[in-house]
Amino acid sequence: MDNMPQRLKVEDHTDLVRDTASLAVINTNRGAYEKAKLRADEAQRERDELRNATRQINNLKCEMHEIKSLLTQLVNKEN
């Protein structure tokens, strides 16, 4: 008897097979997989850029608050 897992075609889905050992459905379309990975990588890059921009904005807000505080102290000192 063959101990190797078999893959059976999924009805009405040319790019899908079912692994008989794990019952997992596997997409055999390599091109679609590569495109999905590229989309996921690009989405991660965009999230990282947004996170970095948000950090920079928050740092600028803190610096502006510090400058405002220093200016207020300077004005109060002169009065």
Q: What pairs with residue 19 in β-bridges?
A: 7
Query: How many domains is the chain built from?
Result: 1
- Average pLDDT of the chain, as a whole number: 93
Q: What pairs with residue 18 in β-bridges?
A: 8, 25
- Model confidence band, residue 5 (pLDDT cutoffs 50, 70, 90): confident
- Model confidence band, residue 79 (pLDDT cutoffs 50, 70, 90): confident
Q: What single-letter amino acid sits at 37?
A: K
Mean pLDDT computed over 1-28? 88
Is 18 within the bounds of a domain?
A: yes
Is 53 within the bounds of a domain?
A: yes
pTM: predicted TM-score of the whole model, two decimal places: 0.62
Is 11 within the bounds of a domain?
A: yes
The residue range of the domain holding 21 is 7-78
Q: If you ran DSSP here, which 8-state letter would residue 79 be given? A: -
pLDDT for residue 55 is more than 90: yes
